[in-house]
Amino acid sequence: MASNRLTSLSDDIRLLPALTTLDLHDNQLQMLPAALGELRELQQLRLGLNCLRSLPMEVYALKNLRNLTLQQNLLDALPEELGQLEALTELDLSDNRLTELPSSLGRLCRLQKLHLCRNELGRLPDSLSLLTNVKLLDCSNNLLSDVPTSLSQMAALEQLYLRHNKLCHLPLVHAPVLKELYVGNNQITGMSGEHLAGLGVLSVLELRDNKISALPEQLAALGTLTRLDLTNNNIGMLPAALGLLPELKILLLEGNPLRGIRRDLLTKGTNELLKYLRGRIKEDPKSAGDVPTAMTLPSQADVNVHNIKTLKSLVYSDKKADRIPGELFLAAAEHTVTSADFSKNLLSEVPPRLADTQASLTELNVAFNRLSCCEPLCSLANLLHLDLRNNQLRHLPAALKNLTRLHSLILNFNKFKSFPEVLYDMPSLETILLANNQVASMDPARLLGLLRLSTLDLSNNDLLNVPPQLGLCTTLRSLSLEGNPFRTPRAAIMTKGTDAVLEYLRSRIPA
């Protein structure tokens, strides 16, 4: 009965005692009947997107309930009786008004997924450590200034989301199988080797939009790390030992005041940057990475087998070529390629054989080419990062919204005259770079739908005015507007940074 206009549910629901699934999400329910407690066989109860402030106590007696979703309601508290739902494997409490959680939450010993994002939680109960089967814990968008170290006892925890909180330090959570840790958009100023010591199997570490100024050398000990996001911090220097991380495929550094690294090097992608860092380490010049015949095919200039086998990367950059050789894709046919760099060539179309990598490709760089169309990229559904800067693009295809995992999109130095429509329909985007185009307009009301957007660069475009409603995009941590012909905000306000600009724009919204 989802997506209707129900304002109440009849007691006659008890006449369906064999129900195992009851879906009432996206209605206008303000309360539920006690008769729900008579549905003894109920396993899934979906109540998201309603107006519920509480649940009848009888619901907490449903011993077979495995899935309870309550996202986007008006809950501000939960009773201790929640702990009676011991069969639960998934509990979604996101987008409510919860300020604390009952200690009985720790009794839900079969729980595997717990969603607590977008509430008003100031602390997490120590009893969470008893949830030894939880694999995913999402506490993003709360008011957490600390995380209990007891979470290290969550033996099955693989994914921990702590984005958009008030953390000042990397949490000391050393869960034994933790693979993904997301702490972006906090106030973290630094981290030590102690914070990293227990993260032996970590593959994803997101530290974007914090205040980190230095990285510890122990970061290089995370041998399983594949993705490191340091976007929008205060990092001036990179430890050269980062270049020795054997599995690192994606290193994001946009928005840092890096010294000692040429800006053009940062645009060449992760592989080139890691190669540069390795070169800064004093070691045997005849190391394995430098032996030409052991790592490359006879046509070394075209195909680097070392990159394909070891780094899982297709690299054919700065060749001034109008096509990508077929042997490059042939060499990659038996390997799981996760990144491709075809930048600085003369490509007028996307290489058709790129579709062969669609099951695994997560990072693609086709910057500095002559592309006027990017339609073939719409099949690369696993892309996380896409660099299309310095091409001849005027439009983006509507099918680009198929890239439902895309986090960052770079479109600088193209020929866009307006904000690309399809981007409004891509809620996964965190970074949009549209500098040095001819963009004259955007729709701030639709931008509000991009709930993860934290970096927006519209500098050096043709914006004659900045809509005050843009100030409502409070997820933005970095907004670049310089170089446009608008008169307000004045330069004096612009120099104060993103927060000041957003506050100024909000003050100009008509009452």
Closest Cα to residue 43, out of 24, 67, 61, 60?
Answer: 67
* Burial (Cβ within 10 Å: 0-12, 13-18, ≥19) of residue 136: middle
Beta bridge partners of 457: 433, 480
What integer pLDDT is reported at residue 438 of this predicted model?
Answer: 94
Task: Count other C-beta atoms under 10 Å from residue 3's C-beta.
Answer: 11
* Predicted pLDDT at 289: 38
Strand partners, 181: 160, 205
Q: Read off the tokens for 407.
A: 């986090």
Weakly modelled stretches of the chain, pLDDT under 50: 282-301
Structure confidence by residue, pLDDT tens digits, 145-189: 999 988 889 999 999 999 999 999 888 888 889 999 999 999 999
70: its two tokens: 């309550």
The pLDDT score that the predictor gives to residue 307 is: 67
Residue 106 three-state SS: helix
**Residue-level pLDDT at 192:** 82
In this prediction the pTM is 0.59
Out of 3.50.50.60, 3.40.640.10, 3.30.465.10, 3.80.10.10, which CATH number does the structure's domain 11-279 have? 3.80.10.10
Please state the domain extents for the chain. Answer: 11-279, 293-406
Q: What is the model's pLDDT at position 90?
A: 96
How big is the CA angle at 46 (ends 40 and 49), to the nearest 5 degrees? 145
Identical fold, 11-279 and 293-406 = yes
Q: Measured between alpha carbons, how far is residue 361 from residues 276, 327, 332, 364, 379 in Å? A: 23, 18, 12, 7, 11
Place of tokens 């879906």: 23
The residue count for the chain: 511
The pLDDT value given to residue 365: 92
Q: Tell me if 162 sits within 8 A of 171, measured CB to CB.
A: yes
Q: Which CATH class for the 293-406 domain?
A: alpha beta
Rounded to 5 degrees, φ, ψ at 294 are -80, -20
Nearest to 215 by CA among 194, 195, 237: 237
CA dihedral 179, 183, 189, 190 (to 10 degrees): 0
Amino acid making up residue 292: P
